[in-house]
Amino acid sequence: MMIRHATLHDLERLAALEAEAFPGEEAASEQSIRERIQTFPECFWIAEGCEENQTHILAAINGMCTHIPDLMDEMYEKASLHDPHGEWQMIFSVASAKDHRGEGYPSRLMNALIDDAQIQKRKGIVLTCKEALIGFYERFGFVDEGVSSSEHGGAVWHQMRLTL
């Protein structure tokens, strides 16, 4: 397994992974993913593996950087809000390929993201997740700040923060 950042070459595979990992309204569109890759490829972490002489995306994490301390719904669709010098790393999506769930790839990516955020001297990392995933993120040191104001995809989200 190798961890790397995204390129436009990954667009179709990332869009398919997003659609596989999230229900309809919660999944980012291919166009949104394209804009994100074009704007902040360094904020896409991909776990890639090779099987039968073909590379596969096993898991991926993406999100923008900003000086705004809370994740807002408009960030999902406006890649232009990314500030490469932003104090906060937002996470929009943590996705694992269905055939590779339970193999630890999202955890490896999360550790790489945290390392990168520390190197970049970010104040911290912010994400929203459903209640069932709070424990997963707490293992990395994230703190549940309660139900978010996010209405993304019509779901109830908890905002989680890891202060570095």
Listed range (67-81, 124-138, 148-162) with the worst mean pLDDT: 148-162
Q: What is the pLDDT of residue 160?
A: 97
Number of domains within the chain: 1
What residue numbers bound the domain in which 38 lies? 2-163
pTM of the model: 0.93
122 band by pLDDT with thresholds 50, 70 and 90 = very high
Q: What is the pLDDT of residue 23?
A: 82
For residue 93, the cross-strand partners are: 62
When pLDDT is averaged across residues 44-72 and rounded to a whole number, the result is 92
Whether the CB-CB separation of 66 and 86 falls below 8 Å is answered with: yes
CATH number of the domain encompassing residue 136: 3.40.630.30
Q: What percent of the chain has pLDDT over 90?
A: 80
Furthest C-alpha separation in the chain: 45
